[in-house]
């Protein structure tokens, strides 16, 4: 297109030049009128040719400008279209990347901060364990008070021993006794239960009359035949006061062993509603059962191993912290057990030391009195 415009412009200019060159005056010198007329005609021809050339050049320049404008318009429109398309693609890409980023953030947050499926159970178990501890403490107090009354206020030792015998025969007799018709005990777990240590220690919880059997076992172990009381009137005499003081000494020594045994008894006694409060599938459980469930639901549970395998680092740390908290609780219970063992050891040492001192002091007293 540009070559065609250039060609037409050159042609117009050449025509003007040719007209100028080809139209000299044909009159001779001196023919002024003829010359003037010829020159005027030639001038008009030149002016007309130049005008036509100028018009042609302007027309072609306008065409060129229109063509260029149209071309640039198309180019500009294409550029704008491509720019708009690019912008849309970039905006879409940005939106997608933002969405993916937010999804990743949400997924990471869910992994990092979502509680494990065991969280509610463990919170309930911890709260229930605290409640159970208060009930156990009160139960130990109650049982110890009854044992002290048995030691200090037995009116007839022979009757107490006979009652123990009759109770054993009727509730916890041996298989041999059952064979000869001396009792009607049909549950083998209760046979001799009041005189077997496994009755106390070999179960996490007592069922039914088993708790009564354990109480009987503790009584039979610590004070089967309590010292019979003296009449109230004699307690005011010097000898009576000495006798009562001896009862106090007997009870103080027996209470060390009784307290340790009673604590183990109450730890295994089912507490009404404890299992429900702890989220277990059993309504009434002992605190021993509750603690065992926290351990066994991890170490003995394949589901726990699968759950841990899918934990993030954050949830793994949380699980480790919960297990550490449980270990601290167990350390506290172990500390309390060590206290009871220490008290028993100290009591045994005190009794042994007293017995040794009494034997030596009797000999020394006799030598001092010359006997």
Instruction: Indicate the domain borders of the chain.
Output: 2-111, 120-154+226-368
pTM of the model: 0.61
Average pLDDT in the chain: 77
What percentage of residues in the chain have a pLDDT greater than 70? 71
Give tens-digit pLDDT for 294-319.
Answer: 888 888 888 888 888 888 888 888 88
Range name among 90-99, 105-114, 360-369 with the lowest pLDDT average: 105-114
Given a cut of 70, whether residue 135 has pLDDT beyond it is yes
> What is the rounded average pLDDT of the residues 71-90?
69
Q: How far apart are CA 86 and CA 99, in angstroms?
A: 20
- pLDDT at site 293: 86
Given a cut of 70, whether residue 73 has pLDDT beyond it is no
Give tens-digit pLDDT for 268-279.
Answer: 888 888 888 888
Range name among 131-140, 335-344, 354-363 with the lowest pLDDT average: 131-140
Partners of residue 285 on adjacent β-strands: 271
Given a cut of 70, whether residue 30 has pLDDT beyond it is no
pLDDT grade, residue 338 (50/70/90)? very high
> What is the rounded average pLDDT of the residues 17-28?
46
User: Is 126 buried (19+), middle (13-18) or exposed (0-12) by CB count in 10 A?
Assistant: middle
Given a cut of 70, whether residue 11 has pLDDT beyond it is no
Q: Which residue has the higher pLDDT, 15 or 357?
A: 357
- pLDDT at site 24: 47
Q: Which residue has the higher pLDDT, 298 or 11?
A: 298
Show the 3-state SS of the chain. Answer: CHHHHHHHHHHHHHHHHHHHHHCCCCCCCCCHHHHHHHHHHHHHHHHHHHHHHHHHHHHHHHHHHHHHHHHHHHHHHHHHHHHHHHHHHHHHHHHHHHHHHHHHHHHHHHHHHCCCCCHHHHHHHHHHHHHHHHHHHHHHHHHHHHHHHHHHCCCCHHHHHHHHHHHHHHHCCCHHHHHCCCCCCCCHHHCCHHHCCHHHHCCCCCCCCHHHHHHHHHHHHHHCCCCCCCCHHHHHCHHHHHHHHHHHHHHHHHHHHHHHHHHHHHHCCCECCHHHHCCCCCCCECHHHHHHHHHHHHHCCHHHHHHHHCCCHHHHHHHHHHHHHHHHHHHHHHHHHHHHHHHHHHHHHHHHHHHHHHHHHHHHHHHHCCC
Q: Which residue has the higher pLDDT, 182 or 32?
A: 182
- pLDDT at site 241: 92
pLDDT grade, residue 28 (50/70/90)? very low
Range name among 78-87, 95-104, 241-250, 262-271 with the lowest pLDDT average: 78-87
């Amino acid at each position: 297109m540009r070559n065609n415009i250039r060609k037409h412009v050159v042609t117009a200019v050449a025509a003007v030049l040719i007209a100028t060159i080809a139209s000299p005056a044909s009159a001779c010198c001196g023919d002024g009128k003829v010359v003037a007329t010829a020159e005027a005609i030639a001038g008009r021809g030149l002016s007309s040719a130049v005008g036509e050339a100028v018009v042609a050049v302007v027309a072609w320049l306008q065409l060129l400008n229109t063509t260029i404008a149209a071309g640039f318009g198309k180019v500009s429109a294409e550029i704008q279209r491509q720019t708009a398309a690019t912008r849309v693609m970039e905006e879409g890409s940005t939106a997608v990347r933002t969405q993916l980023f937010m999804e990743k953030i949400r997924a990471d947050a869910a992994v990092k901060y979502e509680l494990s499926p065991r969280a509610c159970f463990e919170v309930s178990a911890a709260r229930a364990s605290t409640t159970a501890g208060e009930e156990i403490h009160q139960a130990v107090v109650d049982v110890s008070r009854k044992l002290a009354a048995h030691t200090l206020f037995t009116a007839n030792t022979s009757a107490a021993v006979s009652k123990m015998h009759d109770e054993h025969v009727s509730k916890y007799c041996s298989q041999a006794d059952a064979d000869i018709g001396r009792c009607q005990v049909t549950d083998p777990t209760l046979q001799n239960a009041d005189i077997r240590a496994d009755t106390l220690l070999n179960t996490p919880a007592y069922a039914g009359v088993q708790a009564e059997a354990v109480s009987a076992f503790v009584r039979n172990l610590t004070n089967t035949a309590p010292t019979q009381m003296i009449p109230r009137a004699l307690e005011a005499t010097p000898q009576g006061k000495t006798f009562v003081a001896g009862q106090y000494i007997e009870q103080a020594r027996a209470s060390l062993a009784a307290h340790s045994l009673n604590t183990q008894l109450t730890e295994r006694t089912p507490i009404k509603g404890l299992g429900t409060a702890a989220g277990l599938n059993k309504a009434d459980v002992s605190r021993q059962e509750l603690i065992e469930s926290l351990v066994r639901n991890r170490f003995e549970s394949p589901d726990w191993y699968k759950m841990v395998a899918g934990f993030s680092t954050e949830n793994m740390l949380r699980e480790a912290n919960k297990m550490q908290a449980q270990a601290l609780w167990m350390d506290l219970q172990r500390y309390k057990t060590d206290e009871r063992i220490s008290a028993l050891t100290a009591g045994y040492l005190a009794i042994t030391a007293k017995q040794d001192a009494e034997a030596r002091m009797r000999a020394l007293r006799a030598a001092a009195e010359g006997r």
